[in-house]
Amino acid sequence: MRNLRFAIFGAGFWSQFQLAAWQELKGVECVAIYNRTRKKAEQLAARFNVPSVYDNASKLLVEEKLDFIDIITDVNTHAQFVELAAKKKLPVICQKPMAPLLTTARRMVERCRQARVPFFIHENWRWQHPMRELKRALDSKVIGRPFRARIDMISGFPVFKDQPFLAELEQFIITDLGTHTLDLARFLFGEAVRLFCQTGKAHKNIKGEDIATITMAMAASTIVTVNMAYAENYLENDRFPETFVFIEGEKGSIELAPDFWLRTTTKNGTHARRVPPPRYAWADPAYDVVHASIVPCNANVLAQLRGGPNAETTGEDNLKTLELVFGAYESAAKGKALHFGKRGEA
């Protein structure tokens, strides 16, 4: 089978990891890079041996023969590029969050549906190796029906030091981390039927929230609490960017603990094993768990593009996560719980 040819839109920080992850897979090749600042595209292309660069997206789509597009640009530009791909009948992958507004995200999904164009969101958190192992343990029914769970992404990491623009966002931690952790909740426990959110600020000089607690009742009768914080404080087990999970079931418990320890406790005692992520030479060792997850996420999308089963993180599926994200903001603003229908729509 011939290689599938694709172009990357965007040559910013994350593009280097996305492109490196694609190069771990067989049967696919990046043939062009677009960036509004051509020099950045040229630098990335030289590093990864990509033959063509453009500073005009429309020109790229005219001149290059492509099988799909991978969008890694600012969230405010996602819609225009997704709709451009839909017009060209090209399958398209988009970074999270899909859009800055729920109405925009819904329009993007609808445009691709009308054009019969496959649309994917690069939601890699659920593809972290420890999370896949946690899911396997949960699905084994070793702890029976899960009735309560907690997902914690809490860190003292100085996020505003390296990315000061985040302090100017009116909506911060739920759009940044909530897109991951709420999708993870759906991956593990299914759809939410009720949600309540409270937010706060540890940093007084920022516009958005840097603390959030979201409690959800899932359709399968599991109560899930999601805690997020970038408080820049001191924590005993601060292992950014690890996410910790604790699940209680009728026959025991499962915990994804610091340093990738997966512990399953039943009447027979506790079975503990480490489930660390794989190591890639191009990944930052401090971010292995995140960077390594890009590879299986890309592989899952590539399988569908090659005629295999549907990918997990389609635009339509991710829309359900975004409905929880923006529902959380509505709940926090109104101080009340939101109820969701079968498809997660408020």
Q: What is the largest CA-CA distance in the chain?
A: 64
State whether 155 and 88 are in the same domain. Answer: no
Percentage of the chain beyond pLDDT 70 is 99
Of 67, 93, 122, the residue that ends a domain is: 122
State whether 134 and 91 are in the same domain. Answer: no
State whether 192 and 55 are in the same domain. Answer: no
Query: pLDDT (tens digit, 9 = 90+) per residue, 259-276?
Result: 999 999 999 999 999 999
Asked if the model's pLDDT at residue 55 lies above 90, the reply is: yes
Segments forming the whole domain that contains residue 244? 126-284+315-339
The CATH code of the domain that includes 145 is: 3.30.360.10
CB 199 within 8 A of CB 212: yes
State whether 137 and 254 are in the same domain. Answer: yes
Asked if the model's pLDDT at residue 344 lies above 50, the reply is: no
The CATH code of the domain that includes 77 is: 3.40.50.720
State whether 278 and 251 are in the same domain. Answer: yes
State whether 39 and 90 are in the same domain. Answer: yes
Within-domain flag for 117: yes
User: What pLDDT is stored for residue 343 in this prediction?
Assistant: 43
State whether 71 and 137 are in the same domain. Answer: no
How far CA 286 is from CA of 125, 173, 280, 282, in Å, comes to 16, 21, 12, 12
State whether 55 and 196 are in the same domain. Answer: no
The Cα 216–Cα 257 span in angstroms is: 22
Mean pLDDT of the region 145-159: 95
The Cα 300–Cα 308 span in angstroms is: 9
What total of structural domains would you count in the chain?
Answer: 2
Within-domain flag for 155: yes
Per the prediction, the chain carries an average pLDDT of 96
| Sign of the alpha-carbon dihedral angle for 183, 110, 116, 65 | negative
State whether 54 and 154 are in the same domain. Answer: no
> Angle at which helices 315-334 and 179-189 pack, to 10 degrees?
110
State whether 131 and 261 are in the same domain. Answer: yes
Query: pLDDT (tens digit, 9 = 90+) per residue, 176-234?
Result: 999 999 999 999 999 999 999 999 999 999 999 999 999 999 999 999 999 999 999 98
**Exposed e or buried b for every residue in 78-98, given b needs 16+ CB within 10 A?**
bbebbbbbbeeebbbbbbbbb
Q: Model pTM?
A: 0.95
Within-domain flag for 307: no
